Structure 1
Amino acid sequence: MLSARNIKKSYGPLAILKGIDLDIARGELVTIVGASGAGKSTLLHIIGTLDRPDSGSLMINDVDINALNEQKLSAFRNLSIGFIFQFHHLLPEFTALENVCIPAFIHGAAKAATEQRALELLTLLGVADRAAHKPAQLSGGEQQRVAVARALINNPAIVLADEPSGNLDSENATALHNLFIHLRDTMNQTFIIVTHNEELASISDRTIHMRDGQIYV
């Protein structure tokens, strides 16, 4: 469902990605590991269409990403890609339920149906009782679960996560990792996760190692 070929990216004279080839199957949970500066986050940003490569091709769900203009790319990103970040990035002025709904509202989804879907996701993730609370009233683990629900609200083809458990204690990190496995098993959800967490890498379907802007075995 994802195919990247010869992805290259430089910033000035510094080559960050040096020809990445990558295939991800639907329902696969893949972790990307490597030292800082290996190019992991840059690759994730390109896969997530937040940045464009200097050269190479990227197909997601049979859509040629390079062929999309900025408006179509933005719409595709909103509907097809979910994002989970290390620091949640929940909007502090909105409740948990409202934060989950925002990506659906962006593309014009109906309010009642969206709120019902959001509550179903919060229930699945074990935080439905916190739906009316704002982020400051939630624990770190609860905030991250709300962020996962937000990533899932549009039924994305793929969810990308950048160090999702990096800001959690070991108990909450383990719970989050088990949640990813549960979502893969029950929803056939595809995940690509950049992580330094060895526990998460060990339970993934496949671990991709990066070094100096390249994938190696």
Structure 2
Amino acid sequence: MIHAKNIHKYYDQLQVLKGVDLHIEKGEIVSIVGASGAGKTTLLQILGTLDQPSLKSEQSRTKLTIENSITLQINGEDVLTMNDKALSKFRNLNLGFIFQFHQLLPEFSALENVCIPAFIANKSKQETEIEAKKLLDYLGLSHRINHKPNELSGGEQQRVAVARALINKPAIIFADEPSGNLDTASAENLHQLFFKLRDEFGQTFVIVTHNEELANMADRKLVMVDGLISN
């Protein structure tokens, strides 16, 4: 499902990722934990194709080429060989994203927010709205479909964001501190929802979190230390 080898990331002279190797199976829920600055979010963004690994580094004034040994395959596709247009299409159809801050568009209703990724994929309005209503009903929000984000609680907003992430039936969901902005009860409900979705729809989840309860519930917990996954 996800095969990553020798993933590096530099920001100028700062090396954030130092050759990460990672393999995640279909249907796994994997948590990534570690101290702030360990490289968790950077790794998640690269795995989710929102950022690119560094192909070259500068160290001691000497260029070190590492690009020949870098690989990143997601759902059987070598994403590092794709051009921007192909990568955007692949991302929209195969990957879903849930962030700490829901990033819903304030001018649109819950239903409209959920539909956006499907509209980007040129799916029909009628079929998309039917699917979006099913998802919102599944998530307990059928009575809130016409409400805008500022009319929803934090937990409701995050469930709308989950529905949006699911609308194109992605193979993988990437979540970055998904419960970090929620109260305890809403966070627990969201955590249980991830496992329910995996069991019912077979999605793979990769979750960066500081929440120990969520991290320990995962099938595997990966600990990042100083730019590497600690064994």
TM-score band w.r.t. shorter chain: over 0.9
Partner of 1:40: 40
Q: Distance in 2 between matches of 1:141 and 1:103?
A: 21
User: Paired residue for 1:122, among 123, 136, 139?
Assistant: 136
Deviations 1:43-66 (A, max 9, x none): 011011011101321001110011
In 2, the alpha carbon distance for the partners of 1:197 and 1:58 equals: 27
**Any gaps of 5 or more consecutive residues in structure 1?**
none
| Residue identity opposite 2:148 in structure 1 | K
Partner of 1:186: 200
Cα distance in structure 2, aligned partners of 1:119 and 1:173: 23
State how 1:1-217 maps to structure 2 within 5 Å. 1-55=1-55, 56-217=70-231
Q: CA RMSD in A?
A: 0.6
TM-score (norm 1): 0.99
Task: Tell me the CA shift for residue 2 of structure 1.
Answer: 0.7
Residue 87 of structure 1 aligns with an amino acid whose one-letter code is F
Runs of 4+ in structure 1 deviating by more than 6 angstroms, as ranges, are none
Q: Partners of 1:162 and 1:142 in 2: how far apart?
A: 17
Consecutive unaligned residues of structure 2, counting only runs of 5 or more, are: 56-69
TM-score under structure 2 normalisation?
Answer: 0.93
Output one character per residue of 1:140-177: Cα deviation in whole Å (capped at 9) or x when no partner. 00000000000000011100000000000000000000
Count of aligned pairs between the two proteins: 217
Shift of 1:15: 0.3
For the residues of structure 2 that align with 1:66 and 1:96, how far apart are their CA atoms?
34
Report the identity percentage: 62
Q: Which secondary structure does the structure 2 equivalent of 1:71 belong to?
A: helix
Q: Which has the larger radius of gyration?
A: 2
The separation in 1 between residues aligned to 2:28 and 2:141, in whole angstroms, is: 25
